[in-house]
Structure formats: structure tokens, C-alpha cells
Amino acid sequence: MRPVSEQTRVAVLGAGGRMGAAVCDAVRGAADLELVAALHRTDAVSDAVAAGASVAVDFTVPGVTEANVHALVDAGVHAVVGATGWTGESLDRVREHLDGAPGVSVLVAPNFALGAVLAMSFAAQAARWFESAEVVELHHPDKVDAPSGTARHTAAAIAGARAAAGLGVMPDATASGLEGARGADVDGVRVHSVRLRGLVAHEEILLGNPGEQLTVRHDSFDRTSFMPGVLLAVRQAASRPGLTVGLEHLLGLG
């Protein structure tokens, strides 16, 4: 066991939620991290500062998270943020705030599953080399939106890579059939949403050329899959000042 002095002191905001509780467990289970505060929604962010946290993980809710981050930056505490609902404007406000707080870091990530982030990166790296590319996402049937946000981001990344490489429209001779068979159109990339009892969250990217197919698939079986990404962000917080959006920047990918 490492001496206490080497441990990074971590606070968790939104510790009462399912993700927050999982983060608390993960921090407790990591020998190089110490959980110094597990705050619920109604607790003050200053409690994290008072507890001596050097990094705070925020898994609260859209209406609260932005104020939390600004309070943390003011106190010189690095923030790792998993809450959804961030817009370009709210990110701009954090970026500006960080300009006046040298050395402090904020990481905002829509997805902490390493595998999902890698899959999206691989899709973007591969897209320019293939004639065809489609996305199939598969989720439990209680999901209310289709396609998933991850699949839309992936399709948009594929479309961007194709455009940058000067690729045109994908081949598709479909002339007749049933409505919806060819899926949703996201920037010219077809996305198909399967809803199946028993599933959690899965995504498959299919790329095709004459005589070959490349497939990248990510399966999320439960929320423990997010913990390695959260801990990675906590550990890199001190060495990555400023605003970082997306876990992919921590993975040293191409």
C-alpha cells in the first residue's frame, strides 16, 4: 500500500445517483486515490474544497453541473465531468474561466466507456478508406430515443472524415421497398436502431470495400464499464490544464 501522501484526494459530486455511487466505489477500490468527500445534490460544493480534494468528479444533473464546475475552478480544484446537457456556450464559459485559472483543468466527456471512445475513434480513422459505412446500434427496449446519441456522433464523425478526404455519396441503388428499411440518415450515413429485451448498449460500425469488410463493435454490459475511463481522467487531471472535451484526448490516439 502506498503512503497516504502519494494518494490523490478525490471528491464525488452527485454521489447519491447510480453513476456517482459507482464512482465512489471505484475510487475507494483504487490504491492511488482517496475518497475525501461524497456529496449529494443538496450539499455545497465548498464541502469538497474543505475536505481538501484536488480533483472532483461531477455526475450531477444538467441544471447543476455548470455552476459546480465554476465553483471548483474558483477553488483551484480540477473537475472531471460526466453530466450531460453541456452546450457549446456553456463550454465556452468554462474555457474563458480557465484562462484566468492557470494550472486548473476541466474534462467534460459525454462517454467514459473506453471501448466506446476507441470505437468512435477507429470509425473516424477508417472511414476515409472505405466506399461504404453504416452504423447499427442496439439497446434495451426502454430507451426513448432512436438513434442513440453515441451512434449519431459516430455517424457524424464518419461523415466528417469522408468529407475531409473528398469522398462522395455512398453507393446505394435502393429504388423500392418499405419505408424505414434503410434506417435514419445522419449526414449521409445510415444509422439503424435495434431495440431488444436483454440488451444494454451496443454499437457496430460496418465499413465495406470491394471484397472486404471491416467491423468495429462495442458492447456495454453495465455501468462498471465507465469506471476505468473516470479513473483515467482523475489521474491525468493535474497534468492536463485547461478544458478538454472528450476522453479520446487522454488515450493518445491517432
Binding site residue list for (S)-2,3,4,5-tetrahydrodipicolinate: 140, 149-150
The grid coordinates of residue 188 equal 449521409
Q: What are phi and psi of 251, to 5 degrees?
A: -100, 0
Output the smallest distance, CB 137 to its own copies, in A: 9
Mask: binding to its own copies, 58-97, rule CB under 8 A, as x and -?
----------------------------------------
- Could you give the 3-state DSSP secondary structure of residue 158? helix
Closest CA to 110 of 253, 252, 249: 249
Q: Which residue among the candidates 70, 78, 139, 192 is catalytic per the annotation? A: 139
Q: Respond yes or no: is residue 143 known to be catalytic.
A: yes
Of positions 35, 106, 138, 157, contacts its own copies by CB under 8 A: 138
Distance CA 162, CA 175 (A): 24
The grid coordinates of residue 117 equal 471512445
Q: Which of residues 102-131 bind its own copies (CB under 8 A)?
A: 113-116, 118-119, 121-122, 125-126, 129-131
Query: Edge-to-edge strands of the sheet including 55-58?
Result: 33-39, 8-13, 55-58, 78-81, 105-108, 242-245
Output the smallest distance, CB 52 to its own copies, in A: 29
Of positions 73, 94, 134, 150, contacts its own copies by CB under 8 A: 134
Number of residues that bind its own copies (CB under 8 A): 81
- Sign for the CA dihedral angle at 232, 21, 202, 205 comes to negative
Output the smallest distance, CB 84 to its own copies, in A: 15
Q: Which of residues 143-202 bind its own copies (CB under 8 A)?
A: 143-147, 152, 170-186, 190-200
Which amino acid type is present at position 191? V
Quick one: 64 or 118, whose CB is closer to its own copies? 118
Mention every residue, 6+ apart, whose C-beta is less than 8 A from residue 246.
108, 109, 110, 117
Q: What are phi and psi of 119, to 5 degrees?
A: -60, -45
Output the smallest distance, CB 31 to its own copies, in A: 15
Output the smallest distance, CB 92 to its own copies, in A: 27
Q: Are strands 201-209 and 184-186 parallel, antiparallel or unpaired?
A: unpaired
Which amino acid type is present at position 152? R
Known binding residues are 14-19, 41, 82-84, 109-112, 140, 149-150
Q: Which of residues 203-242 bind its own copies (CB under 8 A)?
A: 206-228
Check residue 254 for interaction with its own copies (CB under 8 A). yes
Q: Respond yes or no: is residue 218 known to be catalytic.
A: no
Chain centre distance of CA 94: 18
Q: Which residues are catalytic?
A: 139, 143
